[in-house]
Structure 1
């Protein structure tokens, strides 16, 4: 491979180590899994933060990624793990092993930079040695933006957030939508580079509205694919600018928890209907045990129905105002609601996250009719005064009993 920053024309090596001995808990170990695009494009001279996705079917394991190396007499694998592409990124590159995050700047355009990593699983954070070592090797390509190119590369904006984990049953058709945002007149999406599970198909790229591009994924997982399956995508525009990678983990043969639609009678959410302006406790049930999402930026928001404006949001990734207990999520608010107004609640993908593996995520809730409530207005509700002046009240006499009904229209 001639155009490499380090290792041009040299050899490559890759090393994978499995341990089939029983773990301390008596089970056979499951190795970590990871997914990436083979080549990721980044602009020259721009500081980059790049996260490598890693997951493990043994939910309690501690995962760490490290640089592959050629120290065959001292490294865990006792082998040359990367040969000519060891240390393939420029000086000043930082690797944070606990979340496999790279921070670097590519100095020279029109070159490829090799990245060789080992992802290893430890039984606990105090274990001295990993149980397995899984390699991942890929390339970064450095470019200089062409004259006339948009100053902003395209971005994949949803529907799921980057690095989401999604449970999918075996034999059930899955449809996933990739939405791509462009930012300049004349900027178009010409390709979507993907790394996909076997059997997944992609629709042609469509452009349903200005600056929005769509691709639909279709896939029916089979029994032999049970466990984690990775997907990554990168959108490329007509100036060869590439979006940051967007990756998902599909957990096959597992159903994600879902939030139960609130009902007026024996409801799964509380409160609904009319409440007082000092209402501060809100709760909702899921279909299975849930926990806090592993990713910050997973919000629950309260919106004013008349304008759709957000009046209060909490990040469920860390906020103490969002409490997870069993099947129930409790939200403690610190706001005085406006009398006479109506509100509704939205929840991001993963607001309810499963308790196993990569914490498979609930679907996002954006429908304003899913969970809504009204605030009692005392100015329009009173039973202390009876008057015969229409249309405020109507007085009906029957069997010696007088009933006053209030017209709040």
Structure 2
């Protein structure tokens, strides 16, 4: 629903987007599910307004024993022309929710942000500007839930103080007591050729090392940044060593030519997660020209347009962050 500047909503209020979404994944280990849906609507040129998705389904949080707390996710939609004569495309942010952390341990939470317009400024709460979009969190009270709410905003240049768009990110953090094993799972960097050809199916195997031996097993490998068209299998555990793995399959499309990045976390049965592993593929139209072995991957380290009246098609995607289903 429109919540501000509704007189310039470009016709949105006459045909608002449905809040219904489609389930895309779930995790019994993490007690969560994800859903999303995209809708294609048409707004008038020059539309400028704020839209919100509101509800009252927050679980009990650390500061209160009241259930059903209100929450609101607000986005800015701005179809006015930028100073360089084009319509801005907002950044896209992805973060896994809930985030499970260990009491008295500092955890780095990665928020993947991409911007097709290559604007680099991202603003977080309290006027703090971070370019790497990583939050450092230390929970001091076990068995408690914390909500995190922030806005990802982009600017025309480094001196501008007016955001061109504002994208909400909300997620939950659960602080658990110290488990029997606190050693993080570790991804093994892909050794396959990372240059892939349009229309050619590629199969990859991504391995995870379980360093907790028999006190835990690898239960989940969750994609925090997806590549369209990539399918993944469930985690498979070896009966002879500490390696677990998932299998990926992908047939790149012509619309994906260039670089495509994928990121993932691995969790074990004690809800201890790995650092985020990211890998970048290069999609080409010709036969790949790779060396025999190519190793790539990035891991984050964790410490202990137009005149008025002209309709412009706008694709608005609703992505509802995953909320915990676990009653802890």
Q: What is the TM-score with the length of structure 1 in the denominator?
A: 0.48
In the alignment, is residue 243 of structure 1 matched against residue 274 of structure 2? yes
2:185 to 146, 150, 154: 154
Structure 2 residue ranges without an equivalent (≥5): 1-57, 299-328
> 2: distance between equivalents of 1:189 and 1:172?
31
Q: What value does the CA root-mean-square deviation take over the aligned residues?
A: 3.9
CA contact (8 A) 1:192 1:236 kept: yes
In structure 1, the residue matched to 2:11 is none
> Aligned-pair distance for 1:142?
0.9
CA contact (8 A) 2:124 2:130 kept: yes
2:248 to 205, 217, 237: 217
3-state DSSP class of the match of 1:63?
coil
1:5 to 59, 62, 84: 62
In structure 2, the residue matched to 1:205 is 235
> Aligned-pair distance for 1:348?
4.4
Q: What is the TM-score with the length of structure 2 in the denominator?
A: 0.58
> 1: distance between equivalents of 2:198 and 2:286?
16
> 1: distance between equivalents of 2:91 and 2:259?
9
1:228-270 deviation digits (Å, cap 9, x = unpaired): 987553322233322234456779xx649999669xxxxxxxx
In structure 1, the residue matched to 2:123 is 65
> 2: distance between equivalents of 1:168 and 1:137?
34
> Aligned-pair distance for 1:132?
0.7
Give 1:31-110 correspondences, 5 Å limit. Answer: 31-59=90-118, 61-67=119-125, 97-110=130-143
3-state DSSP class of the match of 1:15?
strand
1:7-55 deviation digits (Å, cap 9, x = unpaired): 7531111011122222222222111012121211110111222221111
> 2: distance between equivalents of 1:143 and 1:218?
35
Q: 1:123 to 1:197 in 2, by over 3 A?
A: same
CA contact (8 A) 1:193 1:235 kept: yes
Q: Which has the higher strand share?
A: 2
> 1: distance between equivalents of 2:102 and 2:249?
32
> Aligned-pair distance for 1:122?
1.0
If asked which structure has higher relative contact order (CA below 8 Å, sep 6+), I would say 2
Count of residues in correspondence between the two structures:
234
> 1: distance between equivalents of 2:89 and 2:195?
18
> Aligned-pair distance for 1:224?
8.0
1:193-236 deviation digits (Å, cap 9, x = unpaired): 44545654222323456222111222346678899987553322
1:271-307 deviation digits (Å, cap 9, x = unpaired): xxxxxxxxxxxxxxxxxxxxxxxxxxxxxxxxxxxxx
> 1: distance between equivalents of 2:295 and 2:231?
29
In structure 2, the residue matched to 1:287 is none
In structure 1, the residue matched to 2:156 is 123
> 1: distance between equivalents of 2:63 and 2:287?
48
